[in-house]
Amino acid sequence: AYRKKIDALDPDDDATWLDNHLLPDPDQVKIRAYSTQSTHKKLTSLRQGSMIHIHDEEFNRKVEDTFHEAYMTHTSTSPNYQILASLDIGRRQVELEGYELVQKSAELAMTLRAKITEHPLLRRYFAILSARDLIPKEYRPSGVEQYYDAETGWSRMEEAWHTDDFVLDPTHITLYTGNAGIDGDTFKNRYLMDQFNIQVNKTSRNSVLFMTNIGTTRSSVAFLISVLLKIAQQLDHEISTYNPAELELHQQQVKSLTEDLPPLPDFSYFHSKFRPNPTTPEGDMRAAYFMAYNEDLCEYLKLDGTIERAVTAGREVVSASFIIPYPPGFPILVPGQVISQEILDFLKALDVKEIHGYRPSLGLRVFTEAALAGSDSKLETAPASPNGQPASEKVIAAATDSLNRSEAAKKKTKKSK
């Protein structure tokens, strides 16, 4: 079937090859798949229990020795045998009754989705995000926008799983809280945790993530639904008592979480100090990272207008650390990256409390102008030492030497004046 399909394509028509979903030649392809699994979240094991699943046709011939060496490098010589034993029990349990248990957890997740979607009061404040909300249309050839429908149930989910490039795990339920005017972190802590002792790990600016697993019971799903109903009733009562000013404030909060979402900033660029080739955009993040070890080469600038004034004055303000707001949970600044106005606008618009790498009392950690000036030559990249570790002290020495030359040049200029 593969050869028949390929032979039917016009070899001279570029559009044909671009528009067709191509697969590798089965006579030549090698399947090499690695997957890590947090077993303690979905199956049976003690906390921190996880596994690495391997399906690699080249494992014995090319990978086995280096894989085991890397594995031993990152594990302890004093392993926790309780965790290992629980993983072995979990593996055995899945072998004996895994299909039934996983099917049950998926059914309970579907029940939770259906109840929240169909209940009129819950629909007013909450929504379950569907494939339409989370997966771009071009990655859903099936055209299925949501797996559940009140009339047909879950019948279309299997179709999507067979044809779509990306699908939703039915046991992961993303609850949208924007219409309630409550951000994800507040909903997690003030409502679920403080009032009802329900713990969730993942939140976004306007959502929280629930997960079912093989330990989930019907009573726990019923309890969660009853909790959401109590919260919805509480919101209903609070909103009914608002005066016009308070109601306007609530509506602004809802709009902030549903419409006025700060767009994720694009990556700006690396400072020329950390670009080995000025004609290409890639940067040497390692050099910037180790250069920041020297506190004399860094300073703090606050988000109170100080950085904006520096940027407006023409200075290239360069981050000396990773800046990671949570949510979304990935860096918007990395060492050596120039801070753009777009990034500053995003940071100022965020209403999250957790930003790794940022100290509100001090500001953003950036490189000094003197550290970035110095010599015209690029900062040398940290070479690998014989044991494979980066020789960070050489980078720091190079950066310090650059700073010293810059300071000496300034003194010489002052004397000549």
Specify the CATH number for the domain of residue 240.
Answer: 3.90.1150.10
| Residues 49 and 142 grouped into a single domain | no
In terms of Cβ atoms closer than 10 Å to its own Cβ (0-12, 13-18, 19+), residue 254 is: middle
Last residue of a domain, one of 213, 235, 258: 258
Average pLDDT value over all residues in the chain: 86
> Mind listing the pLDDT tens digit for each residue in 54-99?
999 999 999 999 999 998 888 888 889 999 999 999 999 999 999 9
Whether residue 65 is contained in a domain is answered as yes
Last residue of a domain, one of 235, 258, 281: 258
For residue 408, name the pLDDT band (cuts at 50, 70, 90): low
> Mind listing the pLDDT tens digit for each residue in 309-367?
998 899 999 999 999 988 778 899 999 999 999 999 888 887 667 789 998 889 999 99
pLDDT value at position 409?
53
User: Which of 330, 202, 51 shows the shortest CA–CA distance to 211?
Assistant: 202
| Residues 64 and 102 grouped into a single domain | no
Average pLDDT of the residues in 17-40 = 85
Whether residue 93 is contained in a domain is answered as no
* Cα dihedral 93, 97, 103, 107 sign: negative
pLDDT value at position 375?
54
| Residues 151 and 253 grouped into a single domain | yes
The contacts of residue 367 (CB under 8 Å, 6+ apart) are 271, 288, 291, 292, 297, 298, 299, 318, 319, 320
Look up the CATH number of the domain holding residue 298.
3.90.105.10
Greatest mean pLDDT among 44-58, 158-172, 253-267: 44-58
pLDDT value at position 407?
55
| Residues 276 and 137 grouped into a single domain | no
45: domain range? 2-83
| Residues 278 and 242 grouped into a single domain | no
Whether residue 281 is contained in a domain is answered as yes
Whether residue 265 is contained in a domain is answered as no
For residue 406, name the pLDDT band (cuts at 50, 70, 90): low
| Residues 69 and 141 grouped into a single domain | no
Whether residue 263 is contained in a domain is answered as no
Whether residue 148 is contained in a domain is answered as yes
| Residues 303 and 238 grouped into a single domain | no
| Residues 288 and 382 grouped into a single domain | yes
| Residues 119 and 231 grouped into a single domain | yes
| Residues 251 and 341 grouped into a single domain | no
| Residues 104 and 186 grouped into a single domain | yes
Look at residue 26 and tell me whether its pLDDT is greater than 90.
Answer: no
Last residue of a domain, one of 83, 109, 143: 83
Whether residue 264 is contained in a domain is answered as no
**Mean pLDDT lowest for which of 14-18, 218-222, 273-277?**
14-18
| Residues 236 and 297 grouped into a single domain | no
pLDDT value at position 181?
94
Whether residue 90 is contained in a domain is answered as no
Q: Number of structural domains, the chain?
A: 3
